[in-house]
């Protein structure tokens, strides 16, 4: 019996003994995350650079219902292609320096990004990354948190949620064993939320479902991707390209994550695969896996 069959069998047995409405909802075929599954378009960056409209049409044909932009707001071909394909745009990774290293106290560049997001009806903006030079110490993370809180308040006034997307480096112990992610958990205001990338959480040797549960009410979205079996964790350096796997083709069980997301009030889930020799084939495999759960 494979892992997926075992988990489904176990879940069915558990439901028979002690019915759980949350688990049943999480495994249901019409689960909101599956019914409205998204794709982080960075996955398809090579194909998009050659033919954005055609690639996004294939995304819709594969069964995806929404996209998460990258490089916003300078990504008009992605916006136009998504609209033409009937794909919703609920979230965008944006030019992070507008928050991390703002050019002025008023965060004028970020305000322009917020205005453009509002114009397009995008309800979520996500800080996607931190360059190495801005995250060396816990003090650096506190500065980032302060800037993020200020930006989140600006976004909230326009009805937009600001979140932070993790990699593994935020979980690397620093002074006194404390991590940058610990700082974010402590310092982020009520206006600021998390977009949890379950792959990178696992790379940091943490349990994604446990983290989602711990941050219940503070997680806006998830990135779903799988990690190659037998990968040694934690790993805070570079990973080989083949470490990134399609859902169901690695070591991360997705069922507990989806259940935790349902309980924690997560709004959107987006498939992402940073590296793949055939990205379109990979995203089809991942959505097929979700559909069969």
Q: What tens digit of pLDDT does each residue of 96-109 get? A: 999 999 999 999 99
Q: Say what the pTM is.
A: 0.90
**Mean pLDDT over residues 268-284, rounded?**
98
**Mean pLDDT over residues 214-242, rounded?**
97
221 strand-pairing partners: 195, 268
Residue 23 covered by a domain: no
pLDDT at res. 31: 80
Can you read off the two tokens belonging to residue 281?
A: 């084939």
- Residues of the chain above pLDDT 70, percent: 90
Q: What is the pLDDT of residues 60-103, one digit of tens each?
A: 999 999 999 999 999 999 999 999 999 999 999 999 999 999 99
Minimum mean pLDDT range among 11-25, 37-51, 116-130, 241-255 = 11-25
pLDDT at res. 34: 87
What whole-number distance in Å separates Cα of residue 201 and Cα of residue 226?
11
pLDDT above 70 (res 12): no
Residue 127 covered by a domain: yes
Three-state DSSP at 123 gives: coil
Residue 158 covered by a domain: yes
Residue 3 covered by a domain: no
Three-state DSSP at 208 gives: helix
Residue 4 covered by a domain: no
Across all residues in the chain, what is the average pLDDT?
Answer: 92
Task: Supply the DSSP symbol for 243.
Answer: G
Domain of residue 247 covers: 32-292
**Mean pLDDT over residues 256-267, rounded?**
96
Residue 5 covered by a domain: no
Element (H, E) at 93: strand 88-94
Residue 1 covered by a domain: no
pLDDT above 70 (res 48): yes
What whole-number distance in Å separates Cα of residue 283 and Cα of residue 59?
8
Q: Residue 17's pLDDT band (boundaries 50, 70, 90)? A: very low
**Mean pLDDT over residues 12-27, rounded?**
45
pLDDT above 70 (res 6): no
Q: Domain count of the chain?
A: 1
Q: What is the pLDDT of residues 173-195, one digit of tens each?
A: 999 999 999 999 999 999 999 99
Q: Which residue has the higher pLDDT, 23 or 148?
A: 148
Q: What is the pLDDT of residues 29-47, one digit of tens each?
A: 558 898 999 999 999 999 9
pLDDT above 70 (res 208): yes
| CATH of residue 115 | 3.20.20.150
What whole-number distance in Å separates Cα of residue 208 and Cα of residue 86?
31
Give φ, ψ of 96 to 5 degrees.
-70, -20
Q: Residue 25's pLDDT band (boundaries 50, 70, 90)? A: low
Can you read off the two tokens belonging to residue 129?
A: 């990354």
Residue 13 covered by a domain: no
Minimum mean pLDDT range among 32-36, 124-128, 133-137 = 32-36
Please check whether residue 142 is in contact with residue 184, taking contact to mean a CB–CB distance below 8 angstroms. Answer: no
pLDDT above 80 (res 123): yes
Burial profile 211-224: b = 16 or more Cβ within 10 angstroms, e = fewer: bbbebeebbbbbbb
Measured at the CA of 43, the angle between CA 39 and CA 46, to 5 degrees, comes to 130
Element (H, E) at 198: helix 198-203
Three-state DSSP at 143 gives: helix
């Amino acid at each position: 019996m494979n892992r997926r069959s075992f988990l489904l069998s176990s879940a069915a047995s558990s439901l028979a003994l002690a019915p759980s409405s949350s688990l049943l909802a999480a495994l249901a075929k019409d689960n909101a995350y599956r019914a409205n599954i998204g794709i982080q378009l960075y996955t398809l960056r090579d194909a998009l650079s050659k033919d954005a409209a055609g690639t996004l049409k294939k995304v819709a044909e594969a069964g995806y219902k929404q996209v998460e932009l990258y490089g916003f707001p300078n990504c008009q071909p992605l916006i136009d292609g998504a609209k033409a394909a009937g794909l919703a745009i609920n979230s965008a990774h944006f030019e992070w320096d507008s928050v991390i290293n703002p050019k002025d106290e008023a965060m004028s560049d970020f305000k322009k990004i917020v205005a453009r997001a509002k114009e397009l009806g995008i309800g979520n903006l996500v800080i996607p990354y931190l360059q190495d030079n801005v995250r060396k110490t816990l003090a650096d993370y506190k500065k980032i948190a302060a800037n993020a809180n200020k930006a989140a308040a600006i976004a909230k006034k326009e009805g937009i949620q600001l979140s932070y997307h993790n990699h593994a480096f935020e979980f690397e112990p620093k002074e006194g064993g404390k991590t940058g992610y610990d700082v974010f958990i402590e310092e982020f205001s009520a206006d600021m939320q998390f977009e949890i990338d379950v792959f990178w959480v696992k790379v940091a040797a943490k349990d994604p479902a446990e983290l989602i549960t711990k941050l219940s009410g503070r997680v806006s979205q998830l990135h779903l991707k799988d990690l190659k079996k037998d990968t040694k964790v934690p790993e805070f350096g570079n990973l080989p390209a083949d470490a990134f796997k399609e859902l169901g083709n690695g070591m991360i069980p997705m069922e507990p994550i989806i259940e935790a997301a349902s309980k924690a009030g997560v709004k959107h889930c987006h498939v992402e695969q940073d590296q793949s020799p055939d990205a379109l084939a990979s995203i089809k495999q991942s959505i097929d896996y979700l559909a069969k759960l």
